[in-house]
């Protein structure tokens, strides 16, 4: 049995069909705005996300960084959830390059309510930083692929409007949320001034993210992307993968969700990992380990010795993620390995 890699949905490799469209992509110099594939991807993404304009960027990290820098000035503050990706995993880019301070607020599986956000908004007083931006994540990675309820987002938008604060969506896995709920991407993006979505996660592309917002905002973001060295030349080869994924890899996310739930249903029966499988809403499973003498690293290495790759995910937890490279046989095999290794553990 080959290795089953459940560490992340970033480990996917481009399919043969995707490689073919990449190889034959029409390209030009995107710094001159002349790459037809990049231009088409940006137009299609803007339309899909319900924004005036979109811009291709190298990664989700760059998408969030360009967006935060475009919204803020040095000394400004950004409210985000305490487990948000930009706070944990983006090397403090906003602080390093933008002089921006984060105000992390702990939510429930990554979801903040308007009442939580309200408490973090700074008074209009020279002692305080200016609260400039609220950044939300949908689906929420550390929240175990949790879907952000749209009505909660809308309440936060009402609050943001009262205080003249902008809103950015880290939608690295936005399409997982739209496929799971049936809510169109444009509806999910409507309350936000800007959005970043990733092509290189569930959509299975090798590289790239797209940010979207108003025409003026994208014009400003374009300069910041340049400043960060993110203006690329014949990047249409990458955009072609993105265009292919928009046509072929969005609806199939439902399969990833179905397999994640199948894993959750079976693994949650093992007392060591008992949890409520319905908390798995999309493609991410965070498994609790109910024995403090067994570390996440132990569990990960025992699984690895049987060819199942997973990630330690903080104290007492490991993470599994389903994706394009995982089929029903891989899912069944993974369940078998969990049962073989851990059924008798307490
Ligand atoms: C929610 C979220 N945002 C942003 C990113 C950053 O994406 P990238 O790894 O492409 O920089 C990730 C990556 O896993 C993520 O999970």
pLDDT in tens, 235-259: 999 999 999 999 999 999 999 999 9
Residues 190 and 295 in one domain: no
Q: Once rounded to an integer, what is the mean pLDDT over residues 327-340?
A: 98
* Cβ of 213 below 6 Å from ligand 1: no
Residue 322 resides in a domain: yes
Task: Report the pLDDT value the prediction gives residue 164, as an integer from 0 to 100.
Answer: 98
Over the chain, what is the mean pLDDT?
97
**For the chain, what's the residue count?**
346
- Rounded to the nearest angstrom, the distance between the alpha carbon of 106 and the centre of ligand 1 is 19
- Rounded to the nearest angstrom, the distance between the alpha carbon of 140 and the centre of ligand 1 is 10
The CATH number linked to 312 is 3.90.1150.10
Q: Once rounded to an integer, what is the mean pLDDT over residues 9-15?
A: 97
How far apart, in whole angstroms, are the C-alpha atoms of residue 255 and residue 245?
A: 15
Q: Are 168 and 68 in contact (CB under 8 A)?
A: yes
Task: Report the pLDDT value the prediction gives residue 344, as an integer from 0 to 100.
Answer: 86
Q: Are 80 and 104 in contact (CB under 8 A)?
A: yes
Residue 321 resides in a domain: yes
- pTM for the whole thing? 0.97
How far apart, in whole angstroms, are the C-alpha atoms of residue 129 and residue 165?
A: 13
Task: Report the pLDDT value the prediction gives residue 2, as an integer from 0 to 100.
Answer: 82
Task: Report the pLDDT value the prediction gives residue 346, as an integer from 0 to 100.
Answer: 72
Last residue of a domain, one of 214, 248, 282: 248
Q: Which residues pair with 314 in a beta bridge?
A: none
* Cβ of 67 below 6 Å from ligand 1: no
Task: Report the pLDDT value the prediction gives residue 193, as an integer from 0 to 100.
Answer: 98
Last residue of a domain, one of 198, 217, 248: 248
* Cβ of 321 below 6 Å from ligand 1: no
Task: Report the pLDDT value the prediction gives residue 20, as an integer from 0 to 100.
Answer: 98
Q: Once rounded to an integer, what is the mean pLDDT over residues 308-328?
A: 97
* Cβ of 9 below 6 Å from ligand 1: no
Q: What percentage of the chain has pLDDT greater than the value 70? A: 100
Q: Are strands 76-81 and 130-137 parallel, antiparallel or unpaired?
A: parallel
What is the residue range of 291's domain?
252-342
Helix-strand-coil percent breakdown of the chain, rounded to 5?
Answer: 45, 15, 40
Residues 221 and 105 in one domain: yes
* Cβ of 61 below 6 Å from ligand 1: yes
Q: What percentage of the chain has pLDDT greater than the value 90? A: 98
Q: Which band of pLDDT confidence, cut at 50, 70 and 90, is reported for residue 314?
A: confident
Q: Once rounded to an integer, what is the mean pLDDT over residues 191-212?
A: 98
């Amino acid at each position: 049995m080959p290795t089953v890699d459940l560490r992340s949905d970033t480990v996917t490799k481009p399919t043969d069909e995707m490689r073919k469209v990449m190889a034959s992509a029409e390209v030009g110099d995107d710094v001159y705005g002349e790459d037809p594939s990049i231009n088409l991807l940006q137009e299609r993404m803007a339309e899909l996300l319900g924004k005036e304009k979109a811009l291709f960027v190298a990664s989700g990290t760059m998408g969030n960084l360009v967006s935060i820098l475009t919204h803020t000035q040095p000394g400004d503050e950004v409210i985000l959830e305490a487990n948000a990706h930009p706070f944990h995993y983006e090397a403090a880019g906003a602080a390093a390059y933008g002089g921006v301070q984060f105000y992390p607020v702990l939510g429930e599986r990554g979801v903040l309510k308007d009442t939580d956000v309200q408490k973090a908004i700074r008074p209009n007083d020279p002692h305080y930083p200016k609260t400039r931006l609220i950044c939300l994540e949908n689906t929420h990675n550390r929240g175990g692929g949790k879907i952000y309820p749209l009505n909660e987002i809308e309440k936060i938008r009402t609050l943001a409007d009262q205080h003249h604060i902008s809103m950015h969506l880290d939608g690295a896995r936005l399409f997982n949320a739209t496929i799971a709920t049936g809510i169109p991407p444009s509806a999910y993006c409507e309350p936000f001034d800007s959005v970043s979505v990733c092509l290189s996660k569930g959509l299975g592309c090798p590289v790239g993210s797209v940010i979207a917002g108003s025409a003026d905002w994208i014009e400003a973001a374009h300069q910041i992307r340049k400043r960060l060295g993110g203006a690329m030349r014949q990047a249409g080869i990458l955009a072609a993968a993105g265009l292919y994924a928009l046509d072929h890899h969005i609806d199939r996310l439902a399969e990833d969700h179905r397999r994640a739930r199948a894993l959750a249903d079976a693994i949650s029966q093992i007392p060591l990992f008992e949890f409520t499988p319905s908390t798995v809403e999309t493609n991410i499973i965070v498994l609790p380990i109910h024995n403090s003498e067994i570390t996440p690293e132990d569990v990960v290495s025992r699984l690895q010795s049987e060819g199942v790759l997973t990630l330690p995910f903080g104290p007492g937890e490991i993470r599994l993620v389903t994706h394009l490279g995982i089929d029903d046989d891989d899912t069944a095999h993974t369940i078998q390995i969990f049962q073989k290794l851990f059924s008798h553990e307490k």
